Amino acid sequence: MIDLLTQPFLRNILVAGVLVAIGLSTWSGYVVLRRIVFTGAAVAEVASAAVALAVLFQLAPFPIALGLTVLTFLALSRVTDSKRLPPETMVGMLYAGGAAASVLLIAKAPRGEAEILNILFGNILTVPVSLLWLMAGVFGALLLLQYFAAKEFLISAYDPDMGRALGIRVGLWNMIFYGALGVAVAVAIRSVGALLTFAMLVAPGASALCLTNRLSRVGKLATLFGVAASLIGIAVSYQYDLPTGSTIVALLVAIFAVSFAMSAIRRAH
């Protein structure tokens, strides 16, 4: 780990890992409890299609991906309020549509294939300093939003009827939640790719929920797991010359497996 801190290039990787862990882990408890786990995977396909579209028309990929990602999450927020259409339906259609659009657009813009693959699988090793500043600013603002709107997010997600009785505009707060989550996902995908983004959006919160029922502790535990997996994963990948993103994801899965086992043992006794 000391070697990682002495080299500017490797320090940037550590900073990127910590930022994406903090930026996404704090949302992962909400994602798991709202039962929108596969939303991240579906939106990743939409983001890849957006990048392919931008490459085809020679536009800047990130603004297009950001816009479509946020719009996708906002559309999902409206489906959440629907009593006729389960959210899983929209998620499935987005996943299939995004994947099909990506393939078709790549076929028309073959020179963009490398850029699309970078979005899909990411490369935390190539995050520039300018993007680190963007991540810090965006994730910092979203953390403040979570802090000041914790009650609204909580009630809108888990007891909307009570929220309406208390005068909380549940529909509006659902839109704010999904919009903020869309921004976080778009920035994370641009930085480290869809695979690590999806894992960080689900695994830390799922692991924390295996160990505690107190929502006040879920966010803290999830953040701890996310940051630990990032730092250890980067160190292990550097030491043994392994793909960094996949190493972090493997550690996140291992943390969840241990947490789940501990939860099962505790219930057995």
Closest CA to 111 of 160, 55, 27, 68: 55
> Which parts of the chain sit beneath pLDDT 50?
none
Residues 169, 24 contacting (CB under 8 angstroms): no
Domains in the chain: ranges and CATH? 2-268 (1.10.3470.10)
The confidence score (pLDDT) of residue 82 equals 59
What would the pLDDT profile of 170-179 be if each residue is shown by its tens digit?
Answer: 888 888 888 8
The confidence score (pLDDT) of residue 262 equals 92
The confidence score (pLDDT) of residue 243 equals 87
Largest CA distance in the chain: 60
The confidence score (pLDDT) of residue 139 equals 95
The confidence score (pLDDT) of residue 140 equals 95
The confidence score (pLDDT) of residue 93 equals 82
